Amino acid sequence: MSTNEIAPGYTIPSFIVDPVDREHIRQVALILDDPNPIHFDLDAVASAGMGDREINQGGSTMAYIIDMITSWAGTRSALERIKCRFRDNVRAGDAVTAGGTVLEVMGSGDSRRVLCDVWVDRGDGTRVIDGTAIVAVPED
Residue-wise pLDDT for 24-52, tens only, equals 999 999 999 999 999 999 999 999 999 99
Check pLDDT > 70 for residue 2.
no
What is the pLDDT confidence band of residue 61, given thresholds at 50, 70 and 90? very high
Laid out side by side, the sheet with 79-86 consists of 11-17, 96-106, 113-122, 127-136, 79-86
Task: Judge contact between 94 and 75, C-beta under 8 A.
Answer: no
Average pLDDT of 107-134? Answer: 96
Specify the pTM.
0.93
pLDDT digits (tens, 9 = 90+) for 75-113: 999 999 999 999 999 999 999 999 999 999 999 998 999
What is the pLDDT confidence band of residue 140, given thresholds at 50, 70 and 90? confident
Q: Topology of 3-21+58-136 in CATH?
A: Thiol Ester Dehydrase; Chain A (3.10.129)
Distance CA 129, CA 140 (A): 31
Q: How confident is the model at residue 138, as a pLDDT?
A: 84
What is the pLDDT confidence band of residue 60, given thresholds at 50, 70 and 90? very high
Q: How confident is the model at residue 97, as a pLDDT?
A: 98
